[in-house]
Amino acid sequence: MKTIKKAIIPAAGLGTRFLPATKAMPKEMLPIVDKPTIQYIVDEAIASGIEDILIVTGKGKRSIEDHFDNNFELERNLMDKGKFELLEKVKEPSEVDIHYIRQKEPKGLGHAVWCARKFIGDEPFAVLLGDDIVQADKPALKQLIEQYEETERSVVGVQKVPENETSRYGIVDPCTIEGRRYQVSHFVEKPAPGTAPSNLAIMGRYIFTPEIFTFLDKQEIGAGGEIQLTDAIQELNETERVYAYDFEGKRYDVGEKLGFIRTNLEFALQNEEIGEEVERVVRDLLMEKERAKL
């Protein structure tokens, strides 16, 4: 059996939900406390045993490449000042090689993954989306890799969402359940409100056999006028089973404003350095608000 050593991180989106912040800065570089969101994703891939990552970028995304590169001037400066803890934090990750390719037209997630076909070749691989950060004892991607090792089939990470949110996600229609793993009869991208076959939503973590490219090669425009990964998954599932796995862990949606603010707050509250003070600030703010009402 071939092992999963390569991962794709699509990062070509325009980040319109965060304008004007993302006018000249990639949304993947927006920080949660002091770390860009994309670094949480790269860290999860490394912790799951990935050795090569391909980041699919687009126009205006150069700072992502700079972030995962050496910065000799900064490192020398921190070294001279004896700031060794910070020095460790800014060093480029040595456990993986990070590669880049540009998606030349914004044609959607399915097209972004298709752009990586030559990098992947004839191997199973992982895809991680940057809008979901997962905190878990065992990394979410690692859980999916273990499912692949058992089944040798593609596996899509899912979690339950409230009924009124199903239209924001790819949704699976499960037919059989074995523990946390589902066989799926249908995958549907962003079903219209009230029409979702279940509340099991695709959560930005995937393992694919290379056969997915057969379907991405000829994939046509789908929901939202984009080439959809979920449509290719549905077609793959008709010839070769694609499992859904309800992974363990808390998932944070950093792809929209409220989720982003909430994640920042929760991570700040958990932070060893500033957590207690942040809690005090939050309490003070709430008290001020209450007082203002009187």
| 206 within 8 A of 172, measured Cβ to Cβ | no
Q: Which is nearer to ligand G1P, 82 or 194 (CB)?
A: 194
For tokens 């030559």, the residue is 118
In whole angstroms, the minimum distance from the beta carbon of 202 to ligand G1P comes to 4
CA-based nearest residue to 233, from 255, 213, 248: 213
Q: What is the DSSP letter of 172?
A: E
Among 7, 46, 184, 203, binds ligand G1P (CB under 6 A): 203
Q: Which stretch binds ligand G1P (CB under 6 A): 36-44, 71-79, 116-124, 201-209?
A: 201-209
x/- map, 181-200, ligand G1P, by CB under 6 A? --------x-----------
Told to check if 109 binds ligand G1P by CB under 6 A, we report yes
DSSP alpha helix (H) spans, the chain? 37-47, 62-67, 72-80, 84-90, 109-114, 117-120, 140-151, 212-217, 229-239, 257-270, 275-293
Told to check if 172 binds ligand G1P by CB under 6 A, we report no
| 32 within 8 A of 43, measured Cβ to Cβ | no
Among 230, 234, 237, 263, binds ligand G1P (CB under 6 A): 230
CA-based nearest residue to 172, from 188, 156, 194, 148: 188
Distance CA 198, CA 177 (A): 13
Size of the residue set binding ligand G1P (CB under 6 A): 14
In whole angstroms, the minimum distance from the beta carbon of 34 to ligand G1P comes to 24
x/- map, 252-281, ligand G1P, by CB under 6 A? ---x--------------------------
Q: Which is nearer to ligand G1P, 78 or 171 (CB)?
A: 171
Told to check if 170 binds ligand G1P by CB under 6 A, we report yes
Distance CA 180, CA 165 (A): 21
In whole angstroms, the minimum distance from the beta carbon of 228 to ligand G1P comes to 6
Q: Which stretch binds ligand G1P (CB under 6 A): 41-49, 59-67, 68-76, 202-210?
A: 202-210
| 125 within 8 A of 7, measured Cβ to Cβ | yes
Cα distances (angstroms) measured from residue 282 to each of 63, 97, 259: 32, 40, 17
Non-local CB neighbours of 286 within 8 Å, separated by 6+ positions: none
Using CA atoms in the order 97, 106, 202, 263, what is the torsion angle rounded to 10 degrees?
70
In whole angstroms, the minimum distance from the beta carbon of 67 to ligand G1P comes to 21
In whole angstroms, the minimum distance from the beta carbon of 250 to ligand G1P comes to 15
Q: Which of residues 111-140 bind ligand G1P (CB under 6 A)?
A: 129, 131-132
Chain position whose Cβ is nearest to ligand G1P:
170
**Residue ranges binding ligand G1P (CB under 6 A):** 109, 129, 131-132, 169-170, 189, 201-204, 229-230, 255
